[in-house]
Structure 1
């Protein structure tokens, strides 16, 4: 599936057939991931939006609710390289990005890639590592590259980090710096399963690994093509102004100590385009922005009453309630 072009890339045109193709692709991925996870369709949908929008995902919740399982399920359905990094207090930056080693035979230094050089990187319990090791991910996530000893190495495409973290008040955890949290497109909290879903989980996961039957349903080339289509979903100027007004409101709110960064607006618009495509539209609506704003923006603000994820989401909801909705296509 390719996008027709008229002259330059900025004139690329998408039609209903492109959107339908993206819907079919993500529907297969969603079905495959839901077969692995019980009752987590909303989280699966958000993770696929991030994948199509070129963003990274932060999964935050208590241990044992399926954070790593969701990350591994995404890796299974995409036919690309998947690496898992178990973050621990003794993990070093070179354990993540790689290191130059001296080759005795060639008498030259050779770069040995770290596990971050993969299409899907599962950063498990990222906030158990020291801030120095956490910072090794910053350039990789923001620019899709890593600089080691003055040499720059590009990440593969697509490249997405799916990080899990335990609540910060748990023993042996370090708070993610604001700059690193801002690199994540969305923060997802899985929560405990509903009673029926938990019963099904006990029935289905006691005797076999839920990932054992998961197989790739899409390719790297298809993901990159879908991303290109999503990038060309249209968003009217009024909607971009609406996003900016939301960002400004978080910066001027007396209950918010630190407001949203401009990157938050970029991520919100990209995610809104992906949601529009998954909804069968070639254009973004205010509903896309309002539906995604809490998940995209809440982890970028710091409430004055404490850095609490639920309170942050509530404050974003209050901001949305008082900002006039801009319309237009």
Structure 2
């Protein structure tokens, strides 16, 4: 039994206000996007923590619509960048343009200077462009002509990968993927959801005039992020989180050797940090001011799937990383 602190970390009125805003964002999402409840949860966790998300799916599963809807719901600046092999770092962060009339160089900021940035098919951009984008994600600033330009707050990146096309792509290095707080893998909608999607298109739900009304502002988002940081996380749960990450590095001692031998590299300490941040946000989404073990377990795949590196044997035997993650979660005692 966890020993919860008797001191109130979050005022009930503050939690109620956060719940009201989050509920409004969820309604806007559901009005535009059919199904995709886990995508909604992942994007809300990203918004509540300021963490970046990597989304993997085939085209046409409403990733752009979902990101645009979240941005419209909180009056956030939204930019979508279509990644291609010829995309340059300056196309993302910005550049200096010579103004002949003034005889000086003028800085033109790139599309990364927005609150929510969608990097569509990030693996299609070159390694140099990926590096520039990921540096902006980490440092929260860009450098143009020797001058630093801070990125707006809040700032979060949603990057997508198309797993079915490999031609003309540049695989993200493992160290760079680690900078994404979560990785979610989306599946096709059910037949019922697809029928509803077609009905909404016919009804004009996705027309340009059907922009959702903002239910909050950027000040509200910053307030929610401060609230999330105050969610109570019991020390026993911190040890549980660190234990899960530790097992990824020493799996041969804890899980079936046939699965443990598939792991080439385990997760870094960034995984522990991502667990604590995302679990606090998930607790708030469920109306609680404290984290429970189920929050951590439900996030395990999203936190670890891009941080555990499997060898070629896993590909040859068609063993997904989620199978290894399930074994790891099952090997650590729940507090």
TM-score, length-scaled by structure 1: 0.90
Structure 1 equivalent of residue 299 of structure 2: 292
Are 1:88 and 1:128, in contact at CA under 8 Å, matched by a contact in 2?
yes
SS in 2 for 1:317: helix
C-alpha distance in 2 between matches for 1:179 and 1:168: 23
Structure 1 equivalent of residue 240 of structure 2: 242
C-alpha distance in 2 between matches for 1:236 and 1:209: 44
C-alpha distance in 2 between matches for 1:72 and 1:274: 21
Deviates more, 1:226-235 or 1:66-75: 66-75
User: How much does 1:159 deviate?
Assistant: 0.3
Are positions 1:225 and 2:219 aligned together? no
Are 2:51 and 2:156, in contact at CA under 8 Å, matched by a contact in 1?
yes
User: Of 268, 273, 276, which residue of structure 1 is paired with 2:280?
Assistant: 273
C-alpha distance in 2 between matches for 1:92 and 1:289: 38
Q: How many aligned residue pairs are there?
A: 316
Deviates more, 1:224-233 or 1:159-168: 159-168
Structure 1 equivalent of residue 160 of structure 2: 164
C-alpha distance in 1 between matches for 2:65 and 2:275: 25
C-alpha distance in 2 between matches for 1:310 and 1:22: 40
Structure 1 equivalent of residue 323 of structure 2: 314
SS in 1 for 2:181: strand
Are 1:68 and 1:164, in contact at CA under 8 Å, matched by a contact in 2?
no
Q: What are the residue-to-residue correspondences of 1:81-230 with 2, within 5 Å? A: 81-167=77-163, 169-206=165-202, 208-210=204-206, 212-230=210-228
Structure 1 equivalent of residue 4 of structure 2: none
User: Would the alpha carbon gap of residues 27 and 186 (structure 1) be closer, same or farther in structure 2, given more than 3 Å must change?
Assistant: same
Structure 2 equivalent of residue 5 of structure 1: none
Deviates more, 1:13-22 or 1:227-236: 13-22
Q: Deviations over 1:30-87 (max 9, x none)?
A: 1111111111112101110111011112111011222222222222212021111111
SS in 2 for 1:85: strand
CA RMSD of superposed structures (Å): 2.1
Are 1:15 and 1:282, in contact at CA under 8 Å, matched by a contact in 2?
no
User: Of 50, 56, 60, which residue of structure 2 is paired with 1:60?
Assistant: 56
C-alpha distance in 1 between matches for 2:314 and 2:244: 20
Q: Which consecutive unaligned segments of at least 5 residues does structure 1 have?
A: 1-10
User: How much does 1:100 deviate?
Assistant: 2.2
SS in 1 for 2:246: helix
Are 1:66 and 1:190, in contact at CA under 8 Å, matched by a contact in 2?
no
SS in 1 for 2:333: coil
C-alpha distance in 1 between matches for 2:183 and 2:319: 11
Deviates more, 1:96-105 or 1:309-318: 309-318
User: How much does 1:207 deviate?
Assistant: 5.3
Are 2:87 and 2:129, in contact at CA under 8 Å, matched by a contact in 1?
yes
User: Would the alpha carbon gap of residues 283 and 155 (structure 1) be closer, same or farther in structure 2, given more than 3 Å must change?
Assistant: same
C-alpha distance in 1 between matches for 2:236 and 2:245: 14
User: Of 313, 323, 333, which residue of structure 2 is paired with 1:324?
Assistant: 333
C-alpha distance in 2 between matches for 1:105 and 1:226: 46
Are 1:168 and 1:174, in contact at CA under 8 Å, matched by a contact in 2?
no
User: Of 274, 279, 289, which residue of structure 2 is paired with 1:282?
Assistant: 289
User: How much does 1:243 deviate?
Assistant: 1.0
User: Would the alpha carbon gap of residues 259 and 227 (structure 1) be closer, same or farther in structure 2, given more than 3 Å must change?
Assistant: same
User: How much does 1:209 deviate?
Assistant: 4.9
Are positions 1:35 and 2:38 aligned together? no
User: Would the alpha carbon gap of residues 81 and 241 (structure 1) be closer, same or farther in structure 2, given more than 3 Å must change?
Assistant: same
Q: Deviations over 1:158-203 (max 9, x none)?
A: 0011112201644332211212211111112221001111111111
